[in-house]
Structure 1
Amino acid sequence: MIELKTKEEIEKLRYSNRIVAEILQFLKEETKPGMTGVDIDEIARRECERRGVKPAFLGLYGFPAAVCVSINEEIVHGVPKKNRVLKEGDIVSLDFGVVVDGWYGDAAISFVLGDKISDRKKRLLEGVEKALMAGIEKCVPGNNVKDIAAAIEGTLEAYRLAPICDYGGHGIGRKPHEEPHVSNCVANAEDVLLRPGMVLAIEPMATLGRRKNFYRKLKDGWTVVSKEKALAAHFEHSVAITENGPDILSKLD
């Protein structure tokens, strides 16, 4: 069942998501060559403790860390590792959430370490972020979840990227994952009408590979990687659907 949120509840979700956005921005600024995913996870835990909030992912379904750290060919749900040292030019994707007074926030960013970025990496990051915004633009009452999927998939393909259709967004609120599932591809999309009060986490992910859904899961049971070892990126915002259109809860002013 899809739970519609009141204006007061959306403000509680905005507060949780604002903290997510602040910590993600801080993690991006602090991440440097020579660090590991474990270093990033330690910073995320420390920032949660400093703010008096709970990391949403730590222990969720058994996940062993506070933040998902996916590097280069790792697409999503990357488990932070001690033995993988970050270097200049790596693509780092961070997926992070918190829970505050029972309300969840969730967002993700991708970026390249260092000042030099190739045209291919630039196309990847720009394409996935543009797909996110294209999906968010469809978050208006009267549209359908399928409209979100079509906007995301069409944008990714326009950037010559391979969408990951089997993973996607979701409702969010008192639980980290609520109905409906929000696919990144039309063929997988649920037929759900969008209504004011719905809050959705929109999260496109794609690779520079040549095939959709060409991935495998590592032995850690979590990290999803490209079978082609193609570079990947992942962006996410939590968005409230209002009578006035989409309201991005997980953005900084």
Structure 2
Amino acid sequence: MIEIQSPTGLARARETGALVGDILHELKGRSTPGTNLLDIDRWTRELIDAAGATSCYVDYAPSFGRGPFGHHICTGVNDAVLHGRPHDYALADGDLLSLDLAVVLDGVAADAAISFVVGGSQPPESLALIGATERALEAGIAAAGPGARLGDISAAIGAVLTGAGYRVNTEFGGHGIGSTMHQDPHVPNAGRPGRGFRLRPGLLLALEPWVMADTDELVVDPDGWTLRSATGCRTAHSEHTIAITDDGAEILTLPRRART
């Protein structure tokens, strides 16, 4: 199903997106060496509850997972890149942490992810991974707009990732979003320009480039959820929810302090 938002729905999506951006910004500031992933999950629940919103992950039970997910946020450390299930682990200096959060507020969902290095150590490989996903996300957003096609977004994302020397896995990628977290259309992180669904105002998309340092193969943890690089290499993941408007693409999941 592909949803097209009315002006009222888009206004609600802006509020949901700002909440997601604010929570991720808050969690990044709190994530220091010694922080437990279960504390991050607890803080997320508290922040979501205080806003009167609902996590999209607690009851999330797709066919590929061993559901329900049962937590409020995805926490991936180092080689864990997608669907990282929070567990009893204390972050160490230099860990690469990816946080992926989706919530519903007033009937509209928003989804975003950030990757960053914890503490004072800043390994160059980790910074390169993060930078590539952030640039790819910027390129994908720049390619989005009314009349463009999904393939234009996918091609722009893929060009940045492969240009940085990374292989692209297309099993998981971006997606439509609206009243629920995952909707059509699927947005692969590689593709051909000029192909696929034509974008129109009111469409919400979650774009999410992610890479692994030296592979494009994933393995699944015994928890049935956490996806890791097959080689144990480090990984990174960046995501924003955007709205297609008459003028282009509007990023909905920026924290409020970044909008001033």
Q: 2 CA distance for matches of 1:162 and 1:58?
A: 31
Q: 2 CA distance for matches of 1:225 and 1:122?
A: 18
Q: Report the equivalent of 1:8.
A: 8
Q: 2 CA distance for matches of 1:109 and 1:54?
A: 20
Q: 2 CA distance for matches of 1:236 and 1:132?
A: 7
Q: Does 1:218 align with 2:224?
A: no
Q: Does 1:41 align with 2:44?
A: no
The DSSP-based 3-state class of the residue aligned with 1:66 is: coil
Q: 2 CA distance for matches of 1:56 and 1:90?
A: 26
Q: Does 1:27 align with 2:27?
A: yes
Is the CA contact 2:152–2:195 (under 8 Å) kept in the aligned structure 1? no
Deviation at 1:218, TM superposition (A): 1.1
Letter in 2 for 1:68: C
Q: 1 CA distance for matches of 2:127 and 2:237?
A: 13
Q: TM-score, normalization: structure 2?
A: 0.92
Q: 2 CA distance for matches of 1:113 and 1:163?
A: 25
Q: Report the equivalent of 1:85.
A: 90
Is the CA contact 2:37–2:75 (under 8 Å) kept in the aligned structure 1? yes
Picking from 231, 234, 245, the partner of 1:231 is 234
Q: Which contiguous aligned blocks of 4+ residues in structure 1 show a shift greater than 6 angstroms?
A: none
Q: Report the equivalent of 1:135.
A: 140
Q: TM-score, normalization: structure 1?
A: 0.95
The DSSP-based 3-state class of the residue aligned with 2:199 is: coil
Letter in 1 for 2:43: I
Q: Report the equivalent of 2:201.
A: 196
Q: 1 CA distance for matches of 2:14 and 2:168?
A: 28
The gaps in structure 1 that reach 5 residues or longer are none
The gaps in structure 2 that reach 5 residues or longer are 62-67
Q: 1 CA distance for matches of 2:157 and 2:110?
A: 22
Taking only the aligned residue pairs, the percentage that are identical comes to 36
The DSSP-based 3-state class of the residue aligned with 1:165 is: coil
Moved more, 220-229 or 153-162: 153-162
Q: 2 CA distance for matches of 1:76 and 1:179?
A: 19
Letter in 2 for 1:135: G
Letter in 1 for 2:10: I
Picking from 72, 75, 80, the partner of 2:78 is 72
Q: 1 CA distance for matches of 2:78 and 2:146?
A: 36
181 and 92 in structure 1: CA distance in 2 versus 1, 3 angstrom threshold: same
The one-character-per-residue Cα deviations of 1:34-64 (angstroms, maximum 9, x if unpaired) are 1221111011001112222212211111111
Moved more, 163-172 or 14-23: 163-172
Q: Report the equivalent of 2:180.
A: 175
How many residues align structurally? 249
Q: Report the equivalent of 1:125.
A: 130
Is the CA contact 1:182–1:190 (under 8 Å) kept in the aligned structure 2? no
Moved more, 64-73 or 109-118: 109-118
Q: 2 CA distance for matches of 1:7 and 1:162?
A: 39
Q: Does 1:53 align with 2:59?
A: no
